[in-house]
Structures are given as C-alpha cells and as structure tokens.
Amino acid sequence: MSFLKPKDIIEEGDTVILYLSVNSMHAIEATPTIVNKKGETIEYIFQTSYGALKVRNLIGVAYGSRVELSKGWAYVLQPNPELWTQTLPHRTQIIYTPDISMILFQLEVRPGSLIVESGTGSGSLSHYFLRAIKPSGHLHTFDFHEARVQQARDEFQRHGLGTCVSVYHRDVCQLGFGNELEGKADAVFLDLPAPHLCVPFAAKTLKERGGRFCSFSPCIEQSQRCCIALQENGFTEIRSLEILQMEHIVKTKTIPVLDLEFLKHKVADENNADTSTDKAGNLKTPKELKKLLTSSVPPTIPGHTGYLTFATLPPAFVR
Ligand SMILES: C[S@@+](CC[C@H](N)C(=O)[O-])C[C@H]1O[C@@H](n2cnc3c(N)ncnc32)[C@H](O)[C@@H]1O
C-alpha cells in the first residue's frame, strides 16, 4: 500500500526502495518469505552488490532508515513514481520522468481528472497519472496484452491504488474505449505503434466541452500520421515536440577581456585608413586575457526517446 499516502513505518506487503546509490536501487516487497522456482516457500533473502538482506527485518522499520546488509548498508525509501520508474520490472519499453513531466503539464492533469490511457505497458506513466489525479480522479488504462493487463491490475492493487484505476484488456485501435467512457475524458494519452488508428476513438472519448490529447511515438512517421488523423478528426493546436536533456559543459577558459578603448579605436580605424592590422598583416587583438569559468552547450545532444504530439479537441459547439 506504499503509494497511496506518506507512511512512517514499513508494513508487511509494502513495496520498498532499497537505495544503495543513485545508480543502484531495487524495488522489493516487504514479505518474510517467497516461493522459489520449485514451488517451495523459503525465507526471502535479497542479494545486492553490498551483500544479502533478510527482507523480514524491514517490517516495522521506519522509512528513510539505514539498514545493514551483510557487506555494507543501504537506505530504505518509500516509493514514489520517480523511484518506481527507475526500479520497476520492465514488461515493455517505458516512458521516463522527463517526457512524463511534459505530458502531465500539457494534458493539464490534476486532482479529479478522468484520464484514458493506452497501452498500459509496464505502468510507468500510469503511476504518475494516479499520483496527480487521486483521490477523486480516475485512470482508465487499456492494453491488448492479456498477461500485462493482469500484472498491471495486481501491481496497482498491491500499491494501494486499486480504487483509482480500471485496467481493461482491449485492442483500442479496433474497438476504441467503449460507450461507457464516451464524452467523459479530460485527457487521452496514447503510447501505441499505430496511434493514428485510435485518434477517432480518442475524439469520441474526450468531453463535449473539449479536452487534451497526447501521443508518444519514437518515430517521426508515426507522429506525422497521427497529426493528419488529428486534423481530420477536428483537433486543433496540434504540436509535436521532443524533450532533450542537455548537460552544460562547465570549463575554465582563457578568453580576451572586452576592451572598449580597443574597440573604439578599431571602429575609428576602419572608418578611416585600415589600421586594424599591424605591419605584418596580423589582426590587432586586445592584450588582456582572463581565465574565466564558462558554460557552453554540447555540440551534439544524445538521448532521443520519442516525439510527443499534443492537440486540443475544442468544445462541441465550435467543432
Ligand atoms: C510501449 S508500451 C507502453 C508503456 C507505458 N506507456 C509505460 O510507460 O509503461 C506499449 C503497450 O501498448 C500495447 N498495445 C499496442 N497496441 C495496442 C492496441 N492496439 N490496443 C491496446 N494496447 C496496445 C502493448 O501491448 C504494450 O503493452
């Protein structure tokens, strides 16, 4: 139940983040025993790069505590969507925090929102939707992969989020989101290989008074087809963008000090005879150089994840 609200103490069944370092974290369930591959119930011992942890010892411990491992120590943290995205079991490709922050902002997700999502995948994005819309909102999430649907349902239940989410097993490109949701959604989000096929269903599902749409696609061709479908289905404000994280290069560099006297003479020289070069023809430069701490952008920016296509469905009376 660890995602529902802040907690002080780890209870049996909680999902706990075992934090070894910023690059090494594990999500574990606080349960004294597990069933091994042979079907036997055994003591739950979790192995890490700093040795073993007897998981039963976590129950009753305060979140944020330092716990002993056989060859070191770790912190036990209450999970949130950001930590969950970094530690969740990958059943599919997932969407990460930088893209998700833009999705939540652009879709205007807030407490009480009714959100429709497909595919559910590994539930990475779903956890952010749920944090933003609870306690009064609802997430309807669809996937056509039956096993993933069941795994996601169980996971939301274990995380204490079961009442805020409905998980459906359906091919949304063939069947849409169903009559029950027609005209109800504040926002529709798609992470599908062929989102354009689902756009007409998204239009039907958004509220009469309008709503926001987003589709995430790794390839520009998917976004292009999606944009055409959005236009054909009455959407406006269609915009595709890409989130690229850029780490600035901070370096000490030797650079010439801006010499206004020098510039004044240089301009005067250029207006009269050309004396901006010396006798050997070299450009005269200011004499003073200074070492300064500088910041510049990298020549290339790696890290393409996907294109985010946003659109608005205007209220019914202006469509
Ligand atoms: C990339 S995953 C979604 C990942 C998810 N956004 C996350 O952050 O964890 C795409 C999912 O869409 C599902 N899917 C693909 N086509 C579908 C369709 N036509 N109807 C329903 N689900 C579909 C796949 O089964 C897969 O689980």
Domains of the chain listed by start with CATH number? 15-79 (3.10.330.20), 86-244+303-318 (3.40.50.150)
Please give the Cα distance from 205 to 177 (Å, whole number). 7
Give mean pLDDT, residues 229-233.
Answer: 97
Q: Ligand 1 in contact with 171 (CB < 6 A)? A: yes
Q: Tell me the pLDDT tens digit for each residue of 96-136.
A: 999 999 999 999 999 999 999 999 999 999 999 999 999 99
Residue 300 has pLDDT above 70, yes or no: yes
306 closest CA partner among 206, 202, 203, 190? 190
143 pocket-lining for ligand 1 (C-beta < 6 Å): yes
Q: Is the dihedral of CA 185, 190, 194, 195 positive or negative?
A: positive
Backbone torsion region of residue 13, taken as left when φ is above 0, otherwise alpha when ψ lies between -120 and 50, otherwise beta: left
Residue 142 Cβ contacting ligand 1 at under 6 Å? yes
pLDDT at residue 2, as a whole number: 73
Pairing of strands 289-296, 249-256: antiparallel
Is residue 17 over pLDDT 90?
yes
SS3 307: strand
- Which of the two residues, 255 and 190, has the higher pLDDT score? 190
Per-residue model confidence (pLDDT) at position 287: 66
Tell me the sheet residues that pair with 280. Answer: none
Asked if residue 145 has its Cβ within 6 Å of ligand 1, the reply is yes
Instruction: Collapse the DSSP code of 280 into the 3-class scheme (helix H, G, I; strand E, B; otherwise coil) and give the result.
Output: coil
Burial 157-178 (b: 16+ CB within 10 A, else e): ebbbbbebbebbeebbbeebbb
Ligand 1 centroid – CA 143 distance (Å): 6
Residue 68 has, within 13 A of its CA and on its CB side, a CA count of 2
| 173 CA: nearest ligand 1 atom | 19
Tokens representing residue 55 in the block: 């998981």
Position 177 scores a pLDDT of 98
pLDDT at 275 over 70: no
* Contact yes or no for 54/42 (Cβ under 8 A): no
Distance, CA 24 to ligand 1 centroid (Å)? 27
Q: Are 256 and 288 in contact (CB under 8 A)?
A: yes
Beta pairing partners, 76: 18
Selection from 291, 213, 302, 284 nearest residue 252 by Cα: 291
Hey, which of 116, 192, 197, 307 would you mutate to test ligand 1's pocket, going by the most ligand atoms within 8 Å of its Cβ? 192
- Tell me the chain's radius of gyration from C-alpha atoms: 28
Quote the ligand 1 centre to 67 CA distance (angstroms).
37
3-class secondary-structure state, position 317: helix
Q: Whose CA is nearest to atom 26 of ligand 1?
A: 121
Least confident segment among 76-80, 125-129, 198-202, 259-263: 259-263
Q: How far apart are CA 197 and CA 187, in angstroms?
A: 17
* Cα(121) to centroid(ligand 1), Å: 5
The residue nearest atom 22 of ligand 1, judged by CA position, is 143
- Ligand 1 contacts CB of residue 29 (under 6 A): no
Structure tokens at 290: 């200074």
With b meaning 16 or more CB within 10 Å and e meaning fewer, what string describes 61-79?
A: eebeeebebeeeebebbbb
Ligand 1 atom nearest to CA at 143? 22
Q: Which two tokens stand for residue 105?
A: 């902002």
The minimum-distance atom of ligand 1 relative to the CA of 91 is: 27
Could you tell me the CA-to-CA distances from 286 to 258, 266, 274, 281 in Å, in that order?
8, 10, 17, 16
Burial 199-223 (b: 16+ CB within 10 A, else e): bebbbbbbbeebbbbbbbbeeeebb
299 Cα: distance to centroid of ligand 1 (angstroms): 34
**Does the pLDDT of residue 258 top 80, yes or no?**
no
Pair 181, 211: CB distance under 8 Å: no
pLDDT of residue 285: 59
More confident residue, 21 or 273: 21
- What tens digit of pLDDT does each residue of 142-168 get? 999 999 999 999 999 999 999 999 999
Q: Find where tokens 């306690």 sit.
A: 135
Q: CA 23 → CA 18, 86, 91, 173, 287, distances in Å?
A: 12, 9, 21, 38, 47
Report which protein residue has its CA nearest ligand 1's atom 12: 119
